[in-house]
Each structure stands twice: as C-alpha cells, then as structure tokens.
Amino acid sequence: MKFPMVKEKRNSGPIRVGALELFPAFNEIRNGNRSYALRSGIMQLLLYLLAHRNQVVTKEDILANVWPDRVVSIGSVARSVSELRQFLSHHFAGIVEIETIPKVGYRLRIQEAPPKPKSPAVKRPWWPLIVLFLPLVIWGFYVFTIGGEQKVEAPTKISYLTAYQGREMQPALSPDGENLLFSWQKGAGEVPKIFVRETGGSVPRQLTFGSGHDLQPRWLPGESAVVFLRVLPEGGSKIIKKSLISQDETMLVSVPFQVVDRRYDLTNDGSAFYVSARSDSNSTYSLYQYLRKTGQWEAVRERQTADFNDQYPIYLNRDYQLAFIRTELDPKEGAFKQLMVSDLASGKLKTLYRFKDYVAGLTWQATKNRFLIWLRRNYSNRLIAVDLTGATQVIKSNVLTMPGAIYAAPESDQIVYEIWEGNTSIHRLDLLGERPFSMELEAIFPSSKSDRSMAISGDGKSAAFISTRTGAMDVWWAELANPLTLRKITNNQNNAKVLKWVALSGAGHWLAYSYREGLTIVDRLGVLVDSLHFPAAEVLAPAWSPSQEGRLFFSVRTKDDFYLYGYDLERKDLYQLAVSDGVRPIPRLANGSEVIYYYHTLDGSIRKWDLEAEKQVEVLAGHFEADPFNWQPSEEGLYFLTKKKGEPRICFFNFASGQTSDVFPATNVLSGLPSIGLSPDGSSLYLTRSEAVNVDLVAERLE
C-alpha cells in the first residue's frame, strides 16, 4: 500500500556553492542525497559570509548586515560564528571553512576541487579481456541455466536518512519502505513533533503541532494514518491517530498513569495497546494493556514483588505474545536484565537472553523471526540478534558511535536506528577570575569529535586525552601552550582495545593508558616502554606520582573485588597497596604530595592513603556527593563534580575548614567519565565538556 506524501513546493531555487546546494527558505543545505538543517540566524550568517567569500569581514560588518534590526552583542556574533564553524567542520570538512583573523574578523573559504587531468588514450590489446572474463561467462551460464537461481545479498552499508540540526528520534518505516516517520526536536527548549519524509530524499513535512511532546510514531497497517504518543504539558499522555489525508486527529486512548516511560506498542488492527508505565512516581515500571473492546486498562501480569522493572514492550502479532526487557537486582550480582516473552493466553514466561549491558534499543525483525538489541557497555556498543529459541548472534561489535532506538522494516531486511553524535572538547577554566560564575570556558583543543579522559602532566606543560578524531579510539598528546603540537600517540586499528583512562607522568615523559585486562606505558612519541596484563580483570584510573617520576598507581577490578596497585617503572616493581573490600578506589594524587586520595563508593567519603606509612590514615569527608570519576585533589582541598539541587556544579571542598563552596555551573560537563583535571599551580581547571548533541537516523540492510 502506498502512503500519501504531500509534496511541498519550494519558494525559491537553491544557491549552489560547488557541490553544495543551499535552500534559505527551508534553512537547509544539501550535499548529494544528504540534507542538513541550520537555525535561521545561522543560515543568514552563512549567506552573508558566502556573499563575501575570501574577504575579511569584521564583527561590526556582521552585526550591521546579518541582524540589522535586532540588538545583538559582539559576544553573540562570536558564538554564532563558532556554532557555524562547528557545523561546517562536522558536516563539510575540507569543503567550507571559516578562518579567524586575529583582532580583525573572519574569512570564509571554499575549497575548490582541482580538475582531474585527462589521461592520454592508450591502445590496449583485447585478448587479455577474453581470458579474464571467459570463466565468469561460463560460471554465469551454469548458475542461471543448470544450477538454478542464486540470490546474492548486497553487503551491509549504512546510509543517513536524516542529518538535520537537533534530534531526529524514534524512526518507523512504512510497510512499503518508501516513507519514514520520526519525532524531531529541532533545538534546545523546543518540543518534539512528528515529521514524515520520503526515504529517497525530500523536505520533511510536519504532521503534528501544539504544545505536547509527540513521540513514538507508528504506521497503522491498512490505513493512511499514523499513531503516536502525546505527553501533555499538564501531565498525562494520550495515544493519538493522525490521518495523512484529512490531517484530522483522533484520540484512541488516554493513558491514566502519572509517569509513562514513553514506550508502547499496539496490535496490527489497533484493538489493543501495551505500555510500560508507573502507576505513581514511586513505583517500578510495569506492563499495562488496553483492550478497546472493554475500554479499560489492566496490568498484563499481577506483580508478586517490586524488585524488577518491565520495559520495552513489543507485541508479536502472529503468536499473541508480548516481549519485554526485565531489569532485576541480585544481592550478589547486582543489576541484570533479561529479554523475556510472555504468552498472553496462558501467562507463561520464557527468558531468552540474560545480560548486564544498557539497552539502547529493541525491535522485532519479522523477516528473520528474531529480536535485535542495541547494547552499550564501556564506551563500546554491540548489536545482538536473539531468536525465539534463545540463540544469539553478534551482528556488530565495537561500534563507537552511540546508537539509540531501532526499528526493523516489516517486509524487508532493512533496519533504521538513531545515531547520537556530539562533540566533546577539553576546556580550560581560569580559577583566579574575580567572579567565578562569570568565568568563561576556553576550548583548548577544539574538535567536532569526542575527546575524553583528559590528563595534565605534573609540570603543567602538556596534556593527553582519548579521542575519536580519526574514527578510532586513540590517545592524543599536545603541549598546552601550543595546540599545533597535537599528535596521535597510539594506532588503535579497528578499535582493538576499548581505551578508558589516560595519565601523564610528572614531567610528561611517559603516558599510561588502561583498558580491559591491561595497562600500557609509552613515551610521548608513542614508543612502547612497558605493558602490564591482568587476566579477567579491568584496569582503572592510572595516576602518576607528581614528585617521583616513574611511579604509577592504579586500580584493578576483578570479579570479586577492587585492588589498589603501585608500579615502579625504573625497577619494574609491581606491588599491591590495598584491597578495597568491594569499594571502587579511583586514585588521585595532589601535586607536591605523596598522598593518594581515593573515593569510597559505599559511604561517599574521600579516603587518604599515606605512601610512606603504607596505610590509610584518615577519612577526609563524610557523605561526599560527588561523581566517583570526577574529582581532583589539590594541596588545599578537592574539586569535584556534583549535582546540587538537580543542577550540575563544580564545587570545592576545603580541607582546613571542612566547607564546600560552588566554583562553576557545570552545564554539559560529562559525568560517568574522567572529565576533570587540575593544573599543578591550582590556577586552571580542565573540563571535558559536551558542546552539542545531534541525533540522526541511519538505515542499514542486514545480511
């Protein structure tokens, strides 16, 4: 069945710049089959710079010509240019770039592709072609006449369906595969709405309007209509049917739960709906069903215990079964998850797959009778297939890009899923500023990719961090005073190792980086110095002694416990300092001190280990509400990342007074990853900060 698509007429033709096409009326740029959206003001800025390409324009010129009727500050101009430069470097690197002319202004350059030289005609003998292609002709004759028809599948290839500004989420392909539904949040502070576009490429058409959050669109089989979930600003949710012909909206059912997990499914005929929801803000997630013939909501299964959450409902139309993900808490093992199937007639439950990873997306692939699950763990992602017998297959592994919601086309092997893309860069915060909450962050190594796990050398002259700037996860090094010295230290081909932590020695001579089952030490040219291997364990948080060059400390996590180790590089001496009794010790050393501070995850305290006495001497703080990965000691106290009244903050704990004070609002500073570093003189704090997060939709045909 063909689903109607309204073709919108464009008000003006495109502006062509090399291979690019600009559509100012839609704030859109096209490069071949890929489309990108810009904010209106940024598009106007780009048009002005294009009109003056290869010319230097001042900030005053931009103010007078781009925003002549608005009150805009010089600082806003710089931020707008920075946003445009980031957009161009992310999507059109090597094609369009903006140069900063110090103390003057900006210049936009277009990189023109050089013409290809014509090759002189060369006469070649024809008889080698017969020798080359004759076996292929014979093989083809056999296949199509004697051997019968053989289907050759195309290799797996990812293609972007959307690449707009903002977050395009929760995709759904029409049964004929020609149209794509998705929820699109165009920018921060805007509410997501439902859009539709042709998979072959067209301007998205907005289907829904109003103040509610419109999510989880689904095609309604057999009808020219879609359904979606609307979360109302006053509370509560509704499942709504939207006609693609008349544009009328019809409420199918109201969801009477205080908190809805924004995930639902329905039968092909629309006679029943299934949601994962909480009956109140304090309860766990349960599965509920709404049968249109009775007009009532009821629990799919009566709960005997509150020790689990049921989420991601998927209705299997053919077998009258409901699949879902159950999360449980085991006293010994901790939290684990199960992919389960419930027979709605008999109530019997069957566990298909047990795992501990974070679930990014789940779908049912009807063409192959299997589930597809995106799983995240340790900065790496996997796509797993699970059939109804419980047999599993790894489809993709070591995927660095962060996937999200996934949808399998009903009648083909094509899947569509979210790709969360954002650039995280290292910024410097001047701690000596007069007004802390007015201090501005300075990006020291700007990037359109992901930088993280940053470390500063003990002398404060160099930095190292882990980044995906060239596609793979590698360690990078640079002098802080000269970003042009930035270079890649490792060559982690095919992401063979999932790198987690990096540390720089006091004088910056050596780098240590850790991964599962090992730790490697190299010099700043990348030459191997030493390597330590810990079978069936994980190495965390290496930290060099600031006063004794070549002395390294780190934590090792085994299946049973955590251990704190020391290592003397010169003597090749590995020794154990402490067993943490189930606590995750993340060691940190203050400059000029031979004291290790580490975080106690059970009581939220910071503990101190004296290296000379080789024992723990005292507990510095009581309940310390800090991110376990993000705190840094100085001689006077501790800087740490925390959430204070729901807002992330960088705070300082003073050893002498025992008081905590705010330093800086930590908006977009990464948590759950090592993201804070301190200069040795205490004048600068280095933060790994997320600049922007976009969500795009990609399509892939699985073999």
The pLDDT tens digits of the residues spanning 564-588 come to 888 888 888 888 876 655 455 566 6
Residues 485-496: tens digit of each pLDDT: 888 888 877 666
Supply angle C-alpha 621, 626, 630, rounded to 5: 115
Spatial contact of 229 and 262, defined as CB atoms under 8 Å apart: yes
Long-range contacts of 232-239 (CB under 8 A, 24+ apart): 239/264, 239/266, 239/273
The residue ranking higher by pLDDT, 562 or 569, is 569
Cα 586 to Cα 592: distance, rounded to the nearest angstrom: 19
Judged by average pLDDT, the poorest of 287-301, 385-399, 443-457 is 443-457
Token pair 């020790």 in the structure block, residue: 307
CB 640 within 8 A of CB 630: yes
Q: Which two tokens stand for residue 397?
A: 């592994």
How far is 611 from 87, CA to CA, in rounded Å? 49
- What's the average model confidence in pLDDT over 523-552? 84
CB 390 within 8 A of CB 352: yes
Q: How many whole angstroms separate alpha carbon 652 and alpha carbon 82? A: 31
| pLDDT reported for residue 145 | 38
Give the integer Cα–Cα distance in Å for 379 and 360: 13
Tens-digit pLDDT profile for residues 364-380? 988 888 999 998 875 56
152: burial class by Cβ within 10 Å (0-12, 13-18, 19+)? exposed
Highest mean pLDDT (candidates 160-164, 346-350, 421-425, 439-443): 346-350
- Percent of the chain past pLDDT 90, that is, above it, reads 7
Give DSSP secondary structure letters for 517-572: EEEEEEETT--EEEEEEEEEEEEEEEEE-SSSTTEEEEEEE-SS-EEEEEEETTTT
Q: What is the pLDDT of residue 182?
A: 93
Rounded CA-CA distance 450/474 in Å is: 11
- Per-residue buried b or exposed e for 558-578, using 16+ beta carbons within 10 Å of the residue's own CB: eeeebbbbbbebeeeeeeebb
Out of 47-51, 138-142, 466-470, which region has the weakest mean confidence (pLDDT)? 138-142
pLDDT tens figures, 191-235: 999 999 887 777 888 999 888 899 999 988 777 889 999 988 877
Tell me the mean pLDDT in the region 98-108. 82
Question: Residue holding tokens 């890929």?
Answer: 34
Distance CA 35, CA 158 (A): 16
Q: Taking a C-beta distance cutoff of 8 angstroms, is the pair 685, 677 a contact?
A: yes
The whole-number pLDDT of residue 214 equals 92
Report the range out of 113-122, 351-360, 428-437, 623-632 with the highest average pLDDT. Answer: 351-360
Contact 371, 386 (CB under 8 A): yes
User: Is-contact 539 518, C-beta < 8 A?
Assistant: yes
Task: Give 313's Cβ-side CA count (13 Å radius).
Answer: 33
Give the Cα-Cα-Cα angle 325, 330, 334 (nearest 5 degrees).
85
Q: CA-CA distance, 687 to 684, in Å (whole number)?
A: 10
From the number of C-beta atoms within 10 Å of its C-beta (0-12, 13-18, 19+), residue 127 rates as: exposed
| Cβ(48)–Cβ(62) below 8 Å | yes
621 — pLDDT class (breaks 50, 70, 90): low
How far apart (Å, rounded) are the C-alpha atoms in residues 593 and 551?
A: 13
The torsion angles phi and psi of 154, rounded to 5 degrees, stand at -70, 150
Coil, strand or helix at 682 = coil
Q: Which of 53-57, 452-456, 483-487 has the highest mean pLDDT?
A: 53-57
CA distances from 495 to 400, 448, 450, 622 (A): 8, 19, 14, 40
The counts of H helices and E strands in the chain are: 4, 51
591 token code pair: 């400059």
The SS3 of residue 128 is helix
Residue pair 455/437 in contact (Cβ under 8 Å)? The answer is no
Q: Calculate the average pLDDT of the chain.
A: 75
Other Cβ atoms within 10 Å of 464 Cβ, number: 24
86 has a pLDDT exceeding 80: no
Dihedral, 652, 655, 657, 659 alpha carbons, nearest 10: 30
Amino acid (1-letter code) at residue 90? H
Q: What is the pTM of this model?
A: 0.59
Instruction: Kindly tell me if the per-residue pLDDT of 9 is higher than 90.
Output: no
Model pLDDT, residue 431: 75
pLDDT at 385: 92
Categorize the per-residue pLDDT at 35 as very low, low, confident or very high, splitting at 50, 70 and 90: low
**pLDDT tens, position by position, 498-513:** 787 888 887 788 889 9
Which residue, 429, 466, 431, 434, is CA-closest to 450?
A: 466
